Amino acid sequence: MSQDELQTFCLLEVERLLQSNGKSLRNYAGMPVPNNSLVSQFSNLMLLRELQYDTVSLSREHDADLLKLNEEQRVVYDKIIDCVSNKKDGFFFVYGFGGTGKTFLYRVLSARLRSEKKIVINVASSGIASLLLPGGKTAHSMFNIPVDLTEDTVCRIKNDSPKAEVFRLADLIIWDEAPMTNKLAFEALDRTLRDIMVSVSDRNKDLPFGGKVVVLGGDFR
């Protein structure tokens, strides 16, 4: 990213924060404003963040950590990578007690795909667990899941929003500590992704999570 691009990115972030509080950079004399010729490139800041990972560093990290996967982890890794690489839908549950290497597996998967400029959405059911995932967020924050859930609930994501565009382009969704979450939250995400992904292909409305490769993880203790 060039210096001009970096400055535009930072100014857009500041502008977004100011606008959320009813202000703008233009309200402050002498403050720079985003370069209009570059603004279009940064219209979706969330997407930009997902594509700004250091691919060289991640490739090295992946190659080193891949050798550390045990036999079971490697089987899961290969199946998930096969789905993503061949653009097949897939729904997986990675079961294991704490300390069995689930998070390590997620890190290897994330490093592999992000080193290839693919988009991985890492979430967890709790804030503490999300901190252990590379680029992790809480599921409720990322998916805009309402607090009050019913059998008809959908996530608060508009089809024409920047976040919806990120989901359309996402190659893998990982949700750790899944058993901690109400099943209605997963059903809400399923309905939302089907609705978002139907714009890509009509068949996606009949596929779990709109045809996305989704990995849930956790244990039921």
How far is Cα of residue 109 from the mean position of the Cα atoms in its chain?
Answer: 13
Give whole-number Cα distances, 92 to 5, 66, 138, 168, in Å: 38, 20, 19, 19
Task: Determine the pLDDT at residue 39.
Answer: 60
Q: CA-to-CA distance for 167 and 221, rounded, in angstroms? A: 31
Looking at residue 140, its amino acid is: H
Q: What per-residue confidence (pLDDT) applies to 120?
A: 98
Note the pLDDT of residue 40: 56
Alpha carbon distance 53, 46 (integer Å): 13
Which pLDDT value is given to residue 26? 85
Distance of CA 39 to the CA centre of its chain: 23
| pLDDT for residue 42 | 59
Distance, CA of 56 to CA of 206 (rounded, Å): 38
pLDDT digits (tens), the chain, 221 positions? 567 777 877 887 787 788 778 888 888 988 888 776 656 555 677 887 888 899 999 999 999 999 999 999 999 999 999 999 999 999 999 999 988 999 999 999 999 999 999 999 999 999 999 999 999 999 999 999 999 999 999 999 999 888 999 999 999 999 999 999 999 999 999 999 999 999 999 999 999 999 999 999 999 87
Domains contained in the chain, CATH given: 3-43 (no CATH), 50-218 (3.40.50)
| The predicted structure's pLDDT at residue 36 | 65
pLDDT of residue 144: 96
Please count the other Cβ atoms lying within 10 Å of the Cβ belonging to residue 108.
24
Q: The whole model's pTM is what?
A: 0.83
Q: Residue 121 CB: number of other CB atoms within 10 A?
A: 23
Q: Are 136 and 179 in contact (CB under 8 A)?
A: no
Determine contact, residues 67/45, Cβ cutoff 8 Å.
Answer: no
CA separation for the pair 98, 102 (Å, rounded): 8
